[in-house]
Amino acid sequence: MTSGVARLAALGQSAWYDNLTRPLARGGLDALVREHAITGVTSNPTIFEKAIAAGADYADQLAALGDVGAAEAYWALVVDDIAAAADRLRSVYDATAGADGYVSVEVSPLLARETDATVAQARDLFERIGRPNVMIKIPATVEGLPAIAATIAAGINVNVTLIFGLERYAKVIDAYLDGVSRVADPSRVASVASFFVSRVDTETDRRLGDGHPLAGRAAVANAKLAYELFEQRFAAPAWSALAARGARVQRPLWASTSTKNPTYSPTLYVDELIGPNSVNTLAPASIDALVRHAGLHADTVRRGVDDARSALAALANAGVDFDDVTDTLEREGVDSFAQSYRDCLTAIDAAIADGPPRRR
């Protein structure tokens, strides 16, 4: 039986795995590519914090690093995992002519409000990893927007992360167009725009209260309107000139697509958001839910767009300030990743102090 995950490719959508551990980077990814047609991997500080703190997979490398600071050790571990995963996916990258096969790594979340430092670290990470199929993740904060443009202009692949609202998404597209217009060969740079989904419902539902008829509708509605904006902007004359030079569209990527509310279908944010030139990032639980799921249909993201617009408009009548929802989610997202990064450094400090574990 072909799993639902693999069927996404036939419907025009790439499936990327939203998880990375050392065992995956060292070989586990092969099965995901073979069995589920996974064509990319994303990571973030929370994923690395869990992976590094989980066990002894990193003990030998930490011991070999010697007396270094926790931050230096963190980046050494991360760079090695990202490089190994990129090597695993290089065949996908080559087979798709650079459309897929990417591994994403985020700049330090402590730099989310620092433009120049973000650009500098993006360049440093891309050079250190030394693989063409790596994307540097930069948050879509106000300060991140010029960093996105500058990094793209330098010919570095960018995964723009922590996008929640349509107004900010429009500015992300502007930043991409600015950056790619300054690249000598735009066909050699790729970008995705990571539009977060489930957290929108979590925060909106909290404000609506139990049992409200709009509960569970905001996230999908928001994403459908984002896709509509994507299609409009990448069909405009400003894009046509860049496309003629070989530029690639900046694909929308649906992030945070595991449902947080147990009463919602575990595949809600997959079923409703399928469309060409898009990516869905799947956590392990989503992979499990989709293995035997056959109810996937093409172009669902283009359906019900007018209803989506009405649903978001109705939020205001229900007393929900949706702009405040997206602003809150961005702030909390930045803070959450920053805390995960700090927690990871604490775990590394403890591991270095304890020394390598005894092996049985």
Q: How far is CA 33 from CA 29, 37, 39, 101, 267, in A?
A: 6, 5, 6, 10, 20
Find the catalytic residue in 50, 137, 171, 224: 137
* 78 φ/ψ angles, rounded to the nearest 5 degrees: -65, -45
Angle, in degrees to the nearest 10, between helices 322-354 and 305-317: 90
Alpha-carbon span 339 to 320, nearest angstrom: 28
Q: For this structure, is 137 an active site residue?
A: yes
Residues assigned a catalytic role: 137
